[in-house]
Amino acid sequence: MVKVPFLDLKAQYHSIKNEVDKKLIEVCENTAFTMGPFVEEFEKKFSEYLGVKHFVATSTGTSALHTALLAFGIGNGDEVLVPVNTFTATAEAVVMVGAKPVFVDNDPLTYNMDVSKIEQLITHKTRAIIPVHLYGQPADMEKIGEIASKHNLIVIEDCAQAHGAKFKGKMVGTFGHAACFSFYPGKNLGSYGEGGGVATNSDDIAEKMDKIRNHGSKIKYVHEFVGYNYHMHGFQGAVLTIKLKYLDGWNKRRREIAEKYTEKLKDIKDLSLPYVQKDCEHVFHLYVIRTSFREELRQFLNDNGVGTNIHYPYPLHLQESYKFVGYKQGDFPIAEEYAPKLLSLPMYPEMTDEQIEYVVSKIKEFYKGK
């Protein structure tokens, strides 16, 4: 039996171990544990990588979303459009500022926010749209941008799963008024702990976010408003600066793995494989299939040493935490139909061809009995 974990962070660590260990010792020797030069270096390097004026590092991806919403003055009485098929943090941050999340069903092909359903949900209370580049596939930023411009809405991209992805040749994170990133360890660009940040080309918004993450302060002990402690740790800045050099190469390998999966699984009729939208450079944070036999297949793969995951088992409108928003079963038919069928296969740059072949062989073996 070949063991194939869903994710192997240890393999990636060992590939850059010497660089990382040396840099972490440097952080300790400089006692630069919170913010400081190592975080500043990452902010500079990542803003250059994206091609934006500013990148404001934060403690997590959730705090990045919260910080961005606060900086744009979104709060009580406002509505923000978010996908119903996403991780809870996207909507959670909206609730954190006192606004109401208005859910949008997912596109049946890309699983991203269905742009054809956005405009009908806009009201006089709508202030912003948060498109999520789900699984590493860019949302349709051209159409979202047109709708936002027409209705004078703020666009905050959620790029937590799409570091390095491109839409029509342009990096995601550069289309909206701001863009939020998570550097949770399992991300395409992951820290060794929690981490996040916001990209923007606005000087004013960047300055405000800098204060928000630092207790409302620009000058020590002088507080303009009540803010938050959303500092990035020095260790994370150091690690992310090292890993950024490898991101494009790792993303290339992810696409290669995805192509191998797709080529070898395309003839299995029950499987719906990832659809890559035209003019998009998908970075395959996740390789998500859709199957009528999700639980059976998952158990079979697990029994044969293959790790899988489910992203996400319940659409947000059916979560207890969002019951207060007032949605009910049946309001988002695509998300509800897909949720019990989605399964994420192993996907990480260090996967070997042997491991890919093994995963494919076990999936084919499973379907022989169907």
Per-10-residue mean pLDDT of the chain, 370 residues long, equals 93 96 94 91 98 98 98 97 97 97 96 96 98 97 96 98 97 97 97 97 97 92 93 96 98 98 94 93 97 96 97 94 95 96 97 97 89
- Position 219 scores a pLDDT of 86
Residue 2 maps to a domain = no
Residue 80 near residue 73, CB atoms below 8 Å: no
Contacts of 338 (CB under 8 A, 6+ apart): 85, 106, 108, 111, 290
209/66 same-domain check? yes
Question: How many domains does the structure of the chain reveal?
Answer: 2
Q: What is the pLDDT of residue 362?
A: 96
For residue 22, what is the enclosing H or E element?
helix 17-29
H or E stretch covering 257: helix 247-265
Q: Looking at the structure, do residues 202 and 315 belong to the same domain, yes or no?
A: no
pLDDT value, residue 2? 87
Element (H, E) at 50: helix 37-50
Instruction: For residue 191, give the DSSP letter.
Output: -
Same domain, yes or no: 19 and 151: yes
Q: Which of 210, 244, 278 is the last residue of a domain?
A: 244
For residue 186, is it within any domain? yes
CB 33 within 8 A of CB 171: no
Residues 75 and 189 in one domain: yes
- CATH code of 302's domain: 3.90.1150.10
User: Which of 10, 17, 143, 187 is an active site residue?
Assistant: 187
262 and 294 co-located in one domain: yes
Contacts of 211 (CB under 8 A, 6+ apart): 217, 218, 224, 225, 227
Question: 285 and 228 in one domain?
Answer: no
Q: What range defines the domain where residue 46 resides?
A: 9-104+112-244
Q: What is the pLDDT of residue 33?
A: 79
Is 1 a domain residue? no
Residue 273 is predicted with a pLDDT of 97
Helix (H, G, I), strand (E, B) or coil at 99: coil
Does any domain span residue 313? yes
> Of the residues 184, 212, 244, which one is the last residue of a structural domain?
244
In a domain, 3, yes or no: no
- Position 32 scores a pLDDT of 86
State whether 169 and 273 are in the same domain. no
Residue 291 lies in a domain: yes
> Is 45 noted as a catalytic residue in this protein?
no
Clarify whether residues 240 and 264 are in a common domain. no
Q: What is the pLDDT of residue 71?
A: 98
Among candidate residues 173, 181, 174, 176, the one with its CA nearest the CA of residue 153: 176
Provide the H-helix boundaries in 83-222. Answer: 89-96, 141-151, 203-212
Final residue of a structural domain among 209, 225, 244: 244
Say yes or no: 168 and 312 in one domain.
Answer: no
Same domain, 223 and 236: yes
CA–CA dist 106, 83 (Å, integer): 7
